[in-house]
Amino acid sequence: MPAISKSTRPGAGNLKDRVTKMPHGEREHFPHPPIFRFTSGIYSDCNELKAGAQDVLKSDYPRYSRFGTPVTDAVEHELTHLERGYGSLSACSGLAAITSVLLSFLRPGDRMLITRSVYEPVRRYVMTYLSRLGISATFLSSREFTQLERYVTENTTLIYVESPSSNVFEVTDIEVVAQFAKLRGIVTIMDNTWSTPLLLNPLRYGFDVVIHSASKYLSGHSDAIIGTITTTEQYYNPLRRYLIASGMCAGGEESFSLYKGLKTLALRLTAQQKTTQGLTEMLTAHPAVRRVVSPVLPAHTDHEVFRKYYQQGNGIFSFAVTKPKDSQRDVFLRRLAHFKLAYGWGGTESCIIPFSAPDWLPESDGLSFFRISVGIEEEGMLKTELSTALLELM
């Protein structure tokens, strides 16, 4: 049975320490930042009113809430610390964070390079809406990202990487990408949602902007839609101006959920990774399972690249079975009482979703794929339930 290997390269260090040592700034007498439910601050005179309306670079309160609130300030401070960046920004969803960053940098006539197995809504946005603006995209495999000289043209201005990517977990050698892009003045963006800041800090390898769908692991309880952006000093103010101008701000309640989730992130991620290791080992040996897809496993195409950057995995993986009848598939899913049929992932409850393998995935003909997000339920119970339910597909 293939073992889950440890990284040969130093990563984020002790996960627990990374979170419990987060600075608390001026909130030393209180465990949490306050939630102020307001639209506009109250000003003492017209001069202050005018200054507040022009406050696009986060000076003092009072301000209009679209410019930020005490709780969004607090959560942005914590994300900056965890991602080791210059500054962070919050948006109303992970997708809003992504589209805001793309629109901040791209202009008509520009061309971008992007991960081929990127989150499907991002692909749809790029192909539908950015293309209307005259912005083109080339979708690359993880291997093609190591051959960028073949794909970069004079109008290539941005590289967008999601790694490990959605469902099939392609892992890009981001250090190679960053070094290439720096020499040519190309902006580099990375969706780091899979990793969280505890497993990987892309800015340390030369990336310019890091994005999270904080609805996933960061908030951790499937109760908030929110996105975050962490950036270098060069791009912080321009991105903040765009977020304010476009109204893509995060709400106070969502920001507070994210703030609380960060406090247990290391504990959850450690527990989920341990259970995932047990599940992938069980599935690898299960007679109904044809393939387990995880970059943590040596059989994955990008396993060696994964080992370059990671000390451990997380709680997400996929597996494939011989394509069943729809009725068999439905019976299998109904047997999974503790695996919710849900698109979300990274929360405390385990989830499962079927998906169609991309055309380029080798040896996928005749197979049906499922993605699992492991929660914090007891490992033995999940293994027994999943193993038993899979007998319906034999």
Q: Are 164 and 118 spatial neighbours (Cβ–Cβ below 8 Å)? A: no
What proportions of the chain, in percent to the nearest 5, are helix, strand and coil? 40, 15, 45
What count of other Cβ atoms lies within 10 Å of the Cβ of residue 324? 16
**332 belongs to a structural domain:** yes
Of 122, 50, 118, 70, the C-alpha closest to 250 is 70
Q: What is the CATH number of the domain that holds 291?
A: 3.90.1150.10
Note the pLDDT of residue 296: 97
Q: What domain range includes position 94? A: 15-262
The DSSP H or E segment spanning 353 is strand 351-355
- pLDDT of 45 reads 85
**Are 217 and 311 in a shared domain?**
no
8 Å CB contact between 367 and 322:
yes
205 shares a domain with 69: yes
Decide: 340 and 370 in contact? Cβ < 8 Å.
no
Cβ atoms within 10 Å of 375's Cβ, excluding its own: 23
Going by C-alpha positions, the residue among 123, 121, 128, 120 that lies closest to residue 138 is 123
Q: Report pLDDT for 134.
A: 98
Is residue 4 in some structural domain?
no
pLDDT number for residue 46: 86
Residue 157's contacts (CB-CB under 8 Å, 6 or more residues apart) are 105, 106, 107, 110, 111, 112, 186, 187
Distance CA 143, CA 148 (A): 10
Claim to verify: residue 56 and residue 168 sit in the same structural domain? yes
pLDDT for position 16: 57
Same domain assignment for residues 201 and 290: no
* Residues 258 and 292 both lie in one domain: no
Looking at residue 328, what is its pLDDT?
Answer: 95
For the chain, how many structural domains are there in total? 2
3-class secondary-structure state, position 165: coil
Is residue 326 situated within a structural domain? yes
Has residue 199 been placed in a domain?
A: yes
Neighbours of 337 (CB within 10 A): 9
Asked if residue 314 is part of any domain, the answer here is yes
- Confidence (pLDDT) at 56: 58
Asked if residue 7 belongs to a domain, the reply is: no
The closest of 80, 137, 143, 131 to 114, measured between CA atoms, is: 137
Q: Are residues 80 and 114 in the same domain?
A: yes
Q: Dihedral of the CA atoms 30, 33, 37, 41 (nearest 10)?
A: 100
Amino acid symbol at 231: T
Examine residue 2 and state whether it is found in any structural domain, yes or no.
Answer: no
Residue 392 to residues 118, 187, 318, 330, 378, Cα–Cα distance (Å): 32, 49, 18, 10, 23
- Residues 292 and 344 occupy one common structural domain: yes
Mark whether 76 and 91 lie in a shared domain: yes
Is residue 35 classed exposed, middle or buried when 0-12, 13-18 and 19+ CB atoms within 10 A define those classes? middle
List the pLDDT tens digit at each of the 394 positions of the chain: 333 333 344 344 456 565 544 444 444 555 777 787 777 778 888 887 877 777 655 566 667 778 888 889 999 999 999 999 999 999 999 999 999 999 999 999 999 999 999 999 999 999 999 999 999 999 999 999 999 999 999 999 999 999 999 999 999 999 999 999 999 999 999 999 999 999 999 999 999 999 999 999 999 999 999 999 999 999 999 999 999 899 999 999 999 999 999 999 999 999 999 999 999 999 999 999 999 999 999 999 999 999 999 999 999 999 999 999 999 999 999 999 999 999 989 999 999 999 999 999 988 999 999 999 999 999 999 999 999 999 999 8
Same domain for 231 and 380, yes or no, is no
pLDDT for 370 equals 98
Of 212, 238, 262, the position where a domain reaches its end is 262
pLDDT at 12: 46
Quote the pLDDT of residue 336: 97
- Count the neighbouring beta carbons within 10 Å of the beta carbon of residue 272: 25
Kindly list the distances between the CA atom of residue 285 and the CA atoms of 20, 282, 317, 376, in Å, as whole numbers in the listed order. 38, 5, 15, 23
Neighbours of 339 (CB within 10 A): 23
| 107 and 230 part of one domain | yes
Q: Indicate if 278 and 339 belong to the same structural domain.
A: yes
- Nearest CA among 379, 315, 312 for reference residue 346: 315
CA neighbours closer than 13 Å in the CB half-sphere of residue 158 = 23
3 state SS of 88: strand
Confirm whether 204 is domain-assigned.
yes
**Three-state SS for 384?**
helix
pLDDT at 67: 82
The DSSP secondary structure of 227-251, one letter per residue, reads EEEEE-HHHHHHHHHHHHHHT-PPP
pLDDT recorded at residue 35:
80
CA distance 254 to 23: 21
262, 278, 313 - which closes a domain: 262
Write down which residue in 227, 262, 297 finishes a domain.
Answer: 262
One domain for residues 64 and 159: yes
Name the helix (H) or strand (E) containing 281. Answer: helix 252-285
